[in-house]
Amino acid sequence: MEKLEAELASLRTRAESLNSRHAAADAEFIDAKSKLQRHHLEADLNTDDKARTKLEAAVAACAMTRDGYADALAEVQTKVADVEQKLAAERSAVERKAASEKLARDLDAVERALPDYLAAGKRFADALEKLHFHHESGAMARFIGNTASQVEVAASFALVELRGMVDAIRDGITPIPAAKPVSASVPVPEPSPPTQTVFMMKSAKYHDHDGRFRFAGQWEDATMPVATAQRALRLGVAVPVTDPKRARLRGTRGGDFNPRAPDVVDLDAVEEPKAANFTPLPTAAPRTILIDVQRS
């Protein structure tokens, strides 16, 4: 293969050089032919035979040079195709040899493991036979015995057939077995963070779960993280979508918003009012007061 690859590289280099020279020779031929044609059209045909002869000789020489390069290029390209075919056949032979040797090694491993498998199955079935009084144990013993017999018979046929494939793959009679497909793990998408839709009574800005800046215009629906939506409801910046004001006000702004306006509420920075913390005063024991009342 190394020898063929070196020969192919040399031939391709030669082909590139010949192709370049052929292109230059063709351009010279076209130029010489154009000069001869101009002579026929403009020169004195009765007195300029010497010049005509010289131009014709130049055209013939250019044509010969061009055709010589063309013939050589065609022959080199044929050799390139031939070497490429030989190299492909050599690579295929190497791949077939490697595949046949791998199959032979795999079959050797199966033949070594098969007696161990059958012996282990027999030992297990014999152990289960001692529990013949137990229905499930007896059923397992019979299943293992039947399976071992079927595997032994099937393996004898399969191994003979596969051994024949080793030589067939090496000789190109049977194609190389396809590689075992690799099961690609499908990534499980992460569940979307919970959101809540509210109706905005004031324009507001906030950050979503991904940290991206969001703007919610007044009298429009806005979908935001649940915690942000609950804060907007508590502050009166928004109301639930079931609020009657939504049906009356929704969309009346007509999209006329300025996210940098001073009245836009920053839901991430605004502080909620704290509830007053009152300490109840102790109550005294009830007292009874006597009042004198004059009777009329």
Q: How many Å apart are CA 54 and CA 48, to the nearest integer? A: 10
Q: What totals of helices (H) and strands (E) does the chain contain, helices first?
A: 5, 6
Nearest to 204 by CA among 252, 253, 261, 246: 261
The pLDDT-based confidence of 138 (bands split at 50, 70, 90) is confident
Q: How many Å apart are CA 15 and CA 18, to the nearest integer? A: 5
Angle at 31 between CA 25 and CA 32, to 5 degrees: 90
What's the CA dihedral at 240, 244, 248, 252 to 10 degrees?
Answer: -10
Residue 11 pLDDT > 90: yes
pLDDT at 289: 55
Q: What is the DSSP letter of 48?
A: -
Q: What is the pLDDT of residues 162-207, one digit of tens each?
A: 989 999 999 888 888 888 887 766 677 778 889 999 999 999 999 9
Q: What is the pLDDT of residues 230-285, one digit of tens each?
A: 999 999 999 999 999 998 898 888 777 888 888 899 998 887 766 555 555 555 55
Q: What is the pLDDT of residues 34-84, one digit of tens each?
A: 999 998 888 887 777 888 889 999 999 999 999 999 999 999 999 999 999
Phi, then psi, of 260 in degrees rounded to 5: -100, 10
pLDDT at 2: 87
Beta pairing, strands 265-266 & 213-216: unpaired
As a whole number of Å, the end-to-end CA separation of the chain is 140
Residue 7 pLDDT > 60: yes
Q: How many Å apart are CA 105 and CA 73, to the nearest integer? A: 48
